[in-house]
Amino acid sequence: MKFYVCIKMVPDVNAPLQIKDGQLIQDADRMILNAYDASAVEEALVLKEKHGGEVEVVCIGSAKASETIRKALAMGADKATHIQTSGDEQYDSGSYARILAKFFEDKEYDVLSLGKQSQDTDSGLTGSMVAELLELPYATNAVGLEAQEGKLIVKRQGDSGQEMIELPTPCAVTCSNDMNEPRIPNLKGIMASKRKPVEQIELSALGLSEDQLTPNTSVKGYEEKPGREPGKKFEGEPDEIAREVAQLLDTEANVL
C-alpha cells in the first residue's frame, strides 16, 4: 500500500509565549512536528509493517521545516517531499488545501492521511478541503485504521460514540492524537533518516495562481483572555443557600 502523510511544523505549545501590541510572540527555536500529524505517521507505519508498502510524508514550509521532516523520517517514513515556501506567507486552511490538492492531483496512492487539526490554529479544516478538491471518499477524527484489499476500515470518534466506516481506496482520512502513541525515534532511525531521500519542490513550481494562494481568512490581532470574576461562596443552612442561589439565578443571571 502507498501512504502519503501530510505533516506540519508548528510551535511547541509548551514553549513560553507573550502577546505584545496585538502580536503573538513565540520562541522561533521551539518548533516541532504537529502532534496529530505524528499520530497519522505512526498509524501509517503500523499498517505498512503489517501489510507492506511505502510511507511518504509531505510538508509545506520554510527551510526550517526540514527538521520536522527528518523527525518523521527518523520515525520510519521511507521518503519525503518538502514543498518549500519563504516562511513569510500567511496561509489559511484553504491555501494549504489548494497547495496539497495541486501536488496530489497526479499522484497514485491508497491512503492520504493528515492530522485532524494543527496545534497552532486548531482549525481542523484542511483535511476535508483536500478531500473535496480531490473528490476522495473521506473520514475524519479517526482513532483506528485497518487496511483490507481495496478498502480502509476507519474507526472514528463520533459525537455519541465510535463509528466504523468503510472507505474504498484511494481515500483520505484525518487522524486524532488519541489514535496511538507515536514512537520516539531511536539512534538507528535518526542515523537512517539522514540517508533517506527528500525531494525539494519550490511552491512556484506547482503553478498555482495568486488567487489560489490568497487566504480567505486573516488574523487581525491577539489579546489576552478576559479575567473571570471570583466565584461566590454560600454559607448557612441548605434550605437558605438554595433560596439564595435561586434568587441570584432569577434576578442576576436571569436563567429562571
pLDDT at residue 57, rounded to an integer: 98
- Provide the whole-model pTM: 0.85
CA gap 127, 138 in Å, rounded: 9
As a 3-state breakdown, the chain gives helix, strand, coil percent values, each rounded to 5, of 30, 30, 40
pLDDT at residue 96, rounded to an integer: 96
Low-confidence ranges of the chain (pLDDT < 50): none
- How open is the CA angle 23-177-58, to the nearest 5 degrees? 75
pLDDT at residue 253, rounded to an integer: 63
pLDDT at residue 32, rounded to an integer: 92
Going by their DSSP bridges, the two strands 79-84 and 9-11 should be labelled as unpaired
Terminal alpha carbon distance of the chain = 59
Please state, in angstroms and as integers, the Cα–Cα distance from residue 1 to each residue in 44, 180, 185, 234, following that order: 10, 20, 23, 63
Going by their DSSP bridges, the two strands 162-168 and 151-157 should be labelled as antiparallel
pLDDT at residue 232, rounded to an integer: 80
Question: 9 near 33, Cβ under 8 Å?
Answer: yes
**Domains, the chain, ordered by start:** 2-213 (3.40.50.620)
- How open is the CA angle 209-215-221, to the nearest 5 degrees? 150
CA gap 151, 165 in Å, rounded: 10
pLDDT at residue 16, rounded to an integer: 78
pLDDT at residue 47, rounded to an integer: 97
> What are the DSSP calls for 165-212, one per residue?
EEEESSEEEEE-TTS--PPPP-HHHHHHHTTS-EEEEEGGGG---HHH
pLDDT at residue 173, rounded to an integer: 98
pLDDT at residue 28, rounded to an integer: 66
pLDDT at residue 24, rounded to an integer: 77
